[in-house]
Amino acid sequence: MSIGGSSAAAELATIVPWATPAPRITVAERQARIAKARTLIDAAGASAILIGAGASLRYYAGIPWGATERLVALLVPVHGTPIMICPRFERGSLEAALEIDADLRLWEEDQSPFALVAGAVTGRLLLDPQLPYCMATALADAGVDVANGGAVVDACRSIKSDAEIALISQAMAMTLEVHHRAARILRPGIAASDVIRFIDAAHRAMGSSGSYFCAVQFGHATAFPHGVPGDQHLADDQLVLIDTGCQVDGYHSDITRTYAFGAVGAEERAIWAIERAAQQAAFDAARPGVTCEAIDAAARGVLEKAGLGPDYRLPGLPHRTGHGIGLSIHEPAYLVRGDTTPLAPGMCFSNEPMIVVPDRFGIRLEDHFHVTDTGAAWFTEPQPSIDHPFG
């Protein structure tokens, strides 16, 4: 039986660290990323790009730091050695994390890092699109000619290498195993918070950094895409929706399963089948050259044929069909009307055309695929049925 019959303690006792971890990103790959960025910067008529702390700094330099009010950034010029801008007191930590060759330009607490950047740049400077607005304006005030560098960052990060796909594959496989084990600990009366704690512990036991996020929704709460406040307790004959993911070397997983705990009604079963068909239609439409918005349209076509929607009307699909995934859990491009980005080999997307029946229930099945030379490939196989979520 795949639902119920076990306990958190019993499941955790049998988890071992992941046996075949994917290799980490190499220095050579990071150098190739910088080389690609230089070509794109030059083609944009700029002299350099400034990458702030966050996912993109990790992508190019291997530094896994989040953004704060202090400027920590990588300046990548078209020619010459990259430059790391960093507070001087962080030098030791920086040198321990930095995975590429770079000149260090360090600033004291009473100095302006923006003046430091201005002194290192000649010509137009492209900015990481995630750089805070206050930092962009400070650079402009320092006399720097700034412009949006999103096209450079997105062109690099949206196409995943084989190494990146392997890391995402590991994260997805770990999370699918955690889903399977979470289903086995369900019982009448269990609190959603207890399931969330178990999922985090199970992710950690497998060797990830824990749950990056976790949503556990029962019954009526499944009608809200991101749940409702408060803790819930599971009752017999309810829908269960669990959405969670982890990180492996910074790369994300993100999987949702919706299934029956006991007996659910004919309408829930019918909507589940429509949801599964819409997810499959989106997958079948994915191939190089097809636009992102066409994938969204393929999923919505299934829903509209079944009398749901149209557009974002409910009952139906209230949000986009999917998002890019990688070092960020949501990243460009997006499977939504208006995004005309053509799919290309190496792009990775969620596939989650959720159906909401307002104030009653919702069904979301979420798996991910990567685009291949001829079509698409699943990271995880979709859920086979509402009663047997793991086969």
Any idea what the CATH number is for the domain that residue 57 is in? 3.40.350.10
With contact defined as beta carbons under 8 Å apart, do 158 and 332 qualify? yes
Residues 135 and 80 in one domain: yes
Instruction: Looking at the structure, tell me whether residues 196 and 144 fall in a common domain.
Output: no
What's the rounded Cα separation, in Å, for the pair 14 and 17?
10
Instruction: Examine the fold and report which residue of 157, 181, 196 is the final residue of a domain before the chain moves on.
Output: 157
* Residue 256 confidence (pLDDT) above 90: yes
Tens digit of each residue's pLDDT (9 = 90 or more) over 187-246: 999 999 999 999 999 999 999 999 999 999 999 999 999 989 999 999 999 999 999 999
**DSSP string over 274-287:** HHHHHHHHHHHH--
Q: Is the domain of 132 the same as that of 213?
A: no
Mean pLDDT of 256-276: 98
Peptide bond into 315 cis (omega under 30): yes
Domain of residue 63: give its range: 27-157
Among 140, 157, 174, the domain boundary falls at 157
Interatomic CA distance for residues 282 and 280, integer angstroms = 5
* pLDDT for residue 45 is more than 60: yes
Q: What is the mean pLDDT of the chain?
A: 97
pLDDT in tens, 115-151: 999 999 999 999 999 999 999 999 999 999 999 999 9
137 is written with which tokens? 């304006």
Q: How confident is the model at residue 391 (pLDDT cuts 50, 70, 90)?
A: confident
**CATH, residue 243:** 3.90.230.10
Task: Tell me the average pLDDT across 311-326.
Answer: 98
94 has pLDDT over 60: yes
Q: Which residues of 320-357 are buried (b: 16+ CB within 10 A; e: fewer)?
A: bbbbbbbbbbebbbbbbbebebebeebbbbbbbbbbbb
Residues 303 and 171 in one domain: yes
pLDDT of residue 165 exceeding 70, the answer is: yes
Q: Are 140 and 121 in contact (CB under 8 A)?
A: no
The SS3 of residue 63 is coil
Structural domain count, the chain: 2
Please give the average per-residue pLDDT across 78-90, as a whole number: 98
Domain assignment of residue 387, yes or no = no
Is there a domain that residue 307 lies in?
yes
Residue 1 scores a pLDDT above 70: no
